[in-house]
A and B are shown apart, each in its own frame.
Chain A
Amino acid sequence: MCGIVGLYLKNKKYNKDLGKFLTEMMNNMSTRGPDSAGFAIYSTERKKKYKYSICYNENNIKEIKKNLSKEIKDAKIKIISDHFVLETSLKPVKVISIIKSYDNLNLVGYGSSIEIFKQVGNPRDVVNNFSLKNFSGTHAIGHTRMATESAITTDGSHPYSTGEDECLVHNGSLSNHNNLRRTLKKKGIEIKSQNDTEVAAGYISNGLSNKKSLKDTLIDGLKDLDGFYTFISGTKNGLAIVRDEIACKPAVVAETKDYVAIASEFQAMAHLPNVNKAKIFEPEPGLVYSWGK
C-alpha cells in the first residue's frame, strides 16, 4: 500500500512549522505503511555549502566524527538518531569518495538544500527519533512504507535520492525496473539497491542531468516506466506529482494561498491550517503537476 505525502509552502510564515506539519501528515499515513518511514526536507540553499545526509547505523559515531574531521577540515557534523548531516564547502566528488571509503557509512542523499532521513520501524517512532517536528524549511516529502518489492531495510526505504538535491517517493510497484536498471547503469547512474523505486529515481536523475525539467522528465516517464505508481518528486526548486494512466494508486491535493499539500489520503492533511477552505482535487491520471520557483 504505502503512504506518500508532500508539502510545498508558498507563504514563508509557515517555514518554521514545516516539520510539525509533516509529522502529523506522516503519523496519519502510518496506517498505510507501518514497516519503515523516511522524509526529505528542503531548506533555503547556502551558497557554496553542501550537506550530506549519512546513516552510520550502530557504529561508533565519535570515532567516525573524529576521522572525518581530519579529512574534511571545515566539516560541521549534526547528529540526529542513527544519521548525521555533514556540512562542508569541499567539492561533492571529493566528499562522496571520502564517505565511500568508510564501510560503515551509507550516503542517503546530498545537496545544497536537501536533508534526508529514513529508518525501519513504525512511522510514528521514526519521525520521533529524528525529531521531525523541529525541522524548518520550504518544502518536504515523506513516505510510510508497506514493503512489497524488496526487504524491510533502510536500503528499501524511501525517499530515494540518486542525484544532487533530488528525491522520490512512490506508492505502487514497477514491473520493468530490472531492464531499466541495466540501461541506466550503462549511462553511469548509480543504483545501489534492488528496489524498483530507486530505478525510477535514477531515471529522473538521468533526465535532469540531460538538462530536462522535472516536469518533462516525468512526462517521458509515463511511457518508459511500466507499472502502478503515484510519484512525488522533489528538487531544490519545488515538488511534482504524477499518477500512472490507470490511476489505481490514490492521491489528493489541497491548495491554499499559503501551501500545496499532497497525500495518499485526505486524512493526512486534515490538520493543516484552513484546509477546509482549500481547493481540493485528485490529480488526473497521466498528468504531471508541479509547484515551485
Chain B
Amino acid sequence: MIKLNLKKDSLRKVNGLLQNLDQKSNDRSFKIINPDGNHAICAGLKEEMDVTIDGHVGYYCAGMNMKADVIVNGNVGTGVAENMMSGSVHVKGNASQSAGATAHGGTLIVDGDTSSRCGISMKGIDIIVKGSVGHMSAFMAQSGNLVICGDAGDALGDSIYEAKIFIKGEPKSLGADCEKKNMNKKDQDLLKSLLKKASIDENQLTNFKMYGSARKLYNFNIDNVSEY
C-alpha cells in the first residue's frame, strides 16, 4: 500500500502518479489522505488499481474512471464517477448531485444518500444507493440500472430511455414518460445480482418496485409509421 498525502503533495502530482501508472507495475494499492474537499481526485484513472480515499472529497471524484476500484471513506461532491467507463467507485458517506452522470459502465455504490439528478443521462452504469436520492434522478437515463433502497425525490426517471430503476421506498413523483413495470424472473435475478454487488442482504430483495420508460416520448413510433 502506497500512501499519498494531499497536504504534502499537490493534487496534480498525486493524480499524475495514478493516471500514469506503469502497466507492468506491481504496486497497485494506494491510500490518499487529507483530501480536504479537493476536486477531481482520482479523475481519469486507466489502469487496474485499488485506491482508498480517507476523508471528504469535492467534485468529479473518480470521473471518467476506467478499470480502477476507488473507495471513499467520506462524502463526495457533485459528479462522482461521472462518465465512468468501467471499474468501481464505493462512497461510504453521502454523495452530492449528479452522481454517476452520463457513465457508460462500471459500478457506483453509495452507502448514504445522494442529492438531485443521481444517474442523469446514465448510459450503462450500475448505481446502487443504500439511502435515498434527490429530485430528477435518472433524468434521460439511457441504459444501465439504478437501485434505490430508500425513497426518491420529485420527477424520478423523467424522459427515461431504456435504463431500469429499482426502488424499495417511494418516489415523491414520477417524471414524464416514466411508469411502473411488472418485474419478471429476469428482472428479479438482475436486482439480486445488483444487491449482491453492494453486499446487501438477499432478504432485502422483497418490496422493490421497478420503473422504466412508457416509450411514449420516443420520436419514432411504429404505430405512426404511415405518417412519417
Interface residues of A (CB under 8 A from B): 247, 250, 252, 265-271, 276, 280-282, 284-285
Contacts and interface: CB of A to CB of B under 8 A. Distances in A.
Contact of B96 (A271, A276, A282, A284): A282
Contacts of A285: 116, 134-135
Interface in B44-102: 55-59, 74-75, 77-78, 93-94, 96-97
B37 A265 contact: yes
Q: 9 shortest A-B CB distances, which residue pairs?
A: A267-B37, A266-B37, A270-B36, A270-B37, A282-B115, A266-B56, A267-B58, A280-B75, A247-B116
B25 to A, nearest CB: 30
B57 to A, nearest CB: 8
Contact of A247 (B36, B57, B115): B115
B15 interface: no
22 contacts: A247-B97, A247-B115, A247-B134, A247-B135, A250-B77, A250-B78, A266-B37, A266-B58, A267-B37, A267-B39, A268-B37, A270-B36, A270-B37, A270-B56, A276-B55, A276-B56, A280-B56, A280-B93, A282-B94, A282-B115, A285-B116, A285-B135
A48 B24 CA distance: 75
A270 B36 CA distance: 5
A267 B57 CA distance: 8
Nearest to A283: B115
Interface residues of B, number: 21
Nearest to B38: A267
Given A250-B78, A267-B38, A280 B94 contact: yes
Contacts of B55: 276
Contacts of B97: 247, 250
A270 B37 CA distance: 7
Interface of B: 36-39, 55-59, 74-75, 77-78, 93-94, 96-97, 115-116, 134-135
A270 to B, nearest CB: 4
A266 B115 contact: no
A247 B116 CA distance: 8
Contacts of A265: 37, 58-59, 77
Contacts of A276: 55-56, 74
A250 B135 CA distance: 14
Given A265-B77, A276-B56, 6 more contacts: A250-B96, A267-B39, A268-B37, A276-B74, A284-B115, A284-B134
A252 B96 CA distance: 9
Contacts of B74: 276
Given A247-B115, A285-B135, A266 B77 contact: yes
Contacts of B93: 280
A269 B115 CA distance: 20
Nearest to B114: A282
